[in-house]
Amino acid sequence: MMRALDELLKEHDLDEINVAAITAEAGVSRSAFYFYFEDKAACAAALGSDVYQEVLTATHALITTGGPPRERIGRTIRAVLTSGEKHRHLIQGMLVARQRSETVRRLWDEYRESFIGPLAEMIDAERAAGTAPAGPDSRALVTVLLELNERSLEQLSTGGPLSADQRAEALTAIWLRTIYGTDPDPGPGPDPGSGPESGADPDPDEVTSP
């Protein structure tokens, strides 16, 4: 039934799909559907667990792997947005389901909550090590950053003006500056030997005759 809804969401909005369409696509009875799901919103939420697992894997890598912050955070955000692009129709379905169902809203909040603790602990560890400066409560900080990610996923799923790469670059910069106060690994700057002040002939007007 979940796979049936998955196929239907590729062609229709969740509001356009009813339980009869899902059961017909799946080849099961209505009673079989209601044995597993309260309504179509609950079915959409269960289907969204695929997206959750992919995001969970990316977030776990951020917390447990080494490397520069820019590399780890950038890799995680790109993985999240890539998952959002791949499952665009599921994101749209879950957004509608969240508006319609208290059960789905609660599940969505539980998904977000599962990320807050580990990410807040990561920030606290960075602060204790002197890598990140003191700042607002880490849980509040992570909550706002995750809400920003969610908003970007929403916009990406509905065809917003920015590409996934543009959003990933902007979100990475926001996360880095919010957690670390700056970008701790901005990448190579301009070659110091390439500027006009290095290796260039002096301005004749500035040369002092002996």
DSSP string, 134-186: --S-HHHHHHHHHHHHHHHHHHHHTT-SS-HHHHHHHHHHHHHHHHHSS-S--
Mean of all residue pLDDT scores within the chain: 84
Domain ranges of the chain: 48-180
What would the mean pLDDT of 106-114 be, rounded to a whole number? 87
What pLDDT does residue 87 have?
Answer: 86
- % of the chain at pLDDT higher than 90: 41
- Residue 23's pLDDT band (boundaries 50, 70, 90)? very high
User: 187 by DSSP, 3-state: which?
Assistant: coil
pLDDT digits (tens, 9 = 90+) for 146-172: 999 999 988 988 887 899 999 999 999
- Residue 71's pLDDT band (boundaries 50, 70, 90)? very high
What would the mean pLDDT of 12-32 be, rounded to a whole number? 91
The CATH superfamily holding the domain 48-180 is: Tetracycline Repressor, domain 2 (1.10.357.10)
Matching residue, tokens 């799901």:
37
| pTM of structure | 0.77
Matching residue, tokens 């912050």:
69
Give the ranges where the chain is alpha helix by DSSP (H).
Answer: 2-9, 19-26, 30-36, 40-47, 49-64, 69-86, 88-100, 102-128, 138-157, 164-180
- Residue 99's pLDDT band (boundaries 50, 70, 90)? confident
